[in-house]
Amino acid sequence: MRNFDVIVLGGGAAGLMCAFAAGQRGRRVIVLESSNKIGKKILMSGGGRCNFTNLHCDPSRFISANPHFCISALQRYTQWDFVALVEKHNIAYYEKTAGQLFCERSSRDILGMLEAECDSAGVQILTHCEVQAVRQPDDFEVASNMGEFSAAALVIATGGLSIPKMGASDFGYRLARQFGLNVLDTRPGLVPFTFTGAIHEITERLSGVSLPATVQAGQQTFAEDILFTHRGLSGPAALQASSYWTPGEDIVIDLLPTTDAAALLLHAKTNSRKTLLRSVLSEHLPKALVTELQNLCWPTTADKPIGDWPDAGLRQLAATLNGWTVRPAGTEGYRTAEVTLGGIDTNELSSKTMQCIRRPGLYCIGEVVDVTGHLGGFNFQWAWSSAQAAANAI
C-alpha cells in the first residue's frame, strides 16, 4: 500500500488543478486516471482551442438545484486568477466573443500548463489506472489494477457522463452513493435538439444553414446563432437552451430577433406592393430558410405579391417569424453533449471547501457536482474554482 496525503480520482481539468494546488501546499498527491491520457476534454474543447474561462463569469451563468452554492468558490478563485496563471505561462489567448477567452494556438497549451504545474509541485500521475474498490476503514484506501493507495483525503474529480468515447463514466456518482451521498438525476446539457416528422425534414434540408436567432426553453431565452443539422438544431443559442429544456415541451425560436416582423411586413406591403413576400423576407433571412418557411406557412400563395396579402395573414406569418414554436423529439444525448446536468447534491458539500459534510476527507469537484455552466468557458471556470476551493482546504 502506497501512502499519500491526497488521492485525486480523475485527471481532467478539475483533478489536475486540485492536484497541483494541493501539491504546492506541501501535500503528497497522486492522480489516478482511468483512460490512456489525462485532460482529453481539455484537448477537444473549444474546437481545439479551449475556451478556458469567461471574463463575465458570475453565478447567474450556472445551473444547480442550489444556485447559491457556486458563489463562494467562484469568488475566491476567479476568472482573473486563471488568466493570471495563463499569462504566467506565456500562453497566447484572445477574446472571441462575449468575454469568451480562447487559446491562440491550441488547447494543448492549457493541458501543458497544468502538467507543468503538477510536475513542479511533485504530483504523481498514473494513467490506465482502473479503480477496483474504495474503502475507508480509517484513511481512504483505493485498490486498482496498479496497486493499492491510501490517503486521508480523497477527491472525486471524475467528471460527468458526456462523451463516453472520451472515457466519461458514472464512476463518480457510484462512488458518491457508496459513501451515502445523495446524487441528483443527471441529463445531458449543451446538446443539439433532434426532431421527427416535418420539422426534421426541414432541418435536414437546411443542414449547414446558420443565422442569428433567439431560442427560448422554459423561462430562459438565449440570443446567439442557431445551426440547422441533419438531426435537428444546434448552434450556441440552441445548445444553451437545451440545458433548460424539459422533454415534451416546446421551444420558441425567434428568427428575426432584432426586428418586429409584423412592422416589417406591413411596411413592405405599403411601400413595395408588387414585391413577392419571399423576396422581402430574403433580405433578412437565408434564402433556403425562406423557401422552407414558404412551403410550411404559405404554400398555395407562393407568387402572391405582398400588396395582395391581407394584414391578418401577414401578422400571422410575422408571429411565426418572431416565435416559431416547435417541439423537439429529444436531444442527441450524452454522445455529443458538452456537459452533464445534475450530479452530486450540493447539499452534501461545504461550498467553501467542497468537502462532504457527512464524510470528512472526501471532496467532490468539477462536473461531477450538480453545478453546470452556460456555454462560453463557464464550465472550465467551475472546474478551476471548485478545484482550488478543495485544494486550499486539504
Ligand X SMILES: Cc1cc2nc3c(=O)[nH]c(=O)nc-3n(C[C@H](O)[C@H](O)[C@H](O)COP(=O)(O)OP(=O)(O)OC[C@H]3O[C@@H](n4cnc5c(N)ncnc54)[C@H](O)[C@@H]3O)c2cc1C
Nearest-approach distance from CB 46 to ligand X, in angstroms = 3
Site for ligand X in 352-371 (CB under 6 A): 366-368
Stretch that binds ligand X, among 132-140, 151-159, 293-301, 319-327 (CB under 6 A): 151-159
How is 268-313 classified by DSSP, letter by letter?
A: HHHH-TTSBHHHHHHTTS-HHHHHHHHHHH-GGGTT-BGGGS-HHH
From residue 207, give the alpha-carbon distance in Å to each of 3, 285, 323, 324, 372. 55, 15, 21, 18, 29
Stretches 42-50, 56-64, 239-247, 269-277: which one binds ligand X (CB under 6 A)? 42-50
Beta partners for 143? 133, 148
> Which of 352, 393, 373, 345 minimizes the C-alpha distance to 79?
373
- Residue 356 in 3-state DSSP? strand
The one among 15, 23, 342, 343 contacting ligand X by CB under 6 A: 15
CA distance readout (Å), 263 to 59, 113, 221, 257, 315: 37, 53, 22, 13, 9
Residue nearest to ligand X (CB): 12
Nearer to ligand X among residue 33 and residue 109 (C-beta): 33
Contact between 11 and ligand X by CB under 6 A: the answer reads yes
User: Which amino acid is present at 84?
Assistant: A
Residue 369: beta bridge partners?
344
User: Among residues 211 and 387, whose Cβ is nearest to ligand X?
Assistant: 387
Segment holding 152, helix H or strand E: strand 147-156
Assess 111 for contact with ligand X (CB under 6 A). no
Q: Which is nearer to ligand X, 175 or 317 (CB)?
A: 175
Specify the stretch interacting with ligand X by CB under 6 A; choose among 8-16, 281-289, 299-307, 343-351: 8-16
Query: Which residues from 276-335 bind ligand X, rule CB under 6 A?
Result: none
Residue with Cβ nearer ligand X (324 or 378): 378
If binding is defined by CB under 6 A, does position 192 make contact with ligand X?
Answer: no
- Kindly state the cell numbers that stand for 62: 450556472
Establish if 9 lies at the interface with ligand X (CB under 6 A). yes
Selected from 73, 125, 163, 349, the binder of ligand X by CB under 6 A is 163
Whole-angstrom CA distances from 163 to 34, 79, 166, 335, 387 are 15, 26, 6, 5, 22
- Strand partners for 26: none
The verdict on 189 binding ligand X (CB under 6 A) reads: no
Neighbours of 158 (CB within 10 A): 31
Binding range to ligand X, per CB under 6 A, among 43-51, 114-122, 217-225, 354-362: 43-51
Q: How many residues bind ligand X (CB under 6 A)?
A: 38
Does the protein bind ligand X through residue 14 (CB under 6 A)?
yes
Q: Which residue type sits at 277?
A: L
* 124 scored as a contact of ligand X (CB under 6 A): no
The SS3 of residue 204 is helix
Which residues of the shown chain bind ligand X in the complex (CB under 6 A)?
A: 9-15, 32-35, 38, 40-41, 44-46, 50-51, 131, 157-159, 162-163, 167, 169, 171, 338-339, 366-368, 377-380, 383
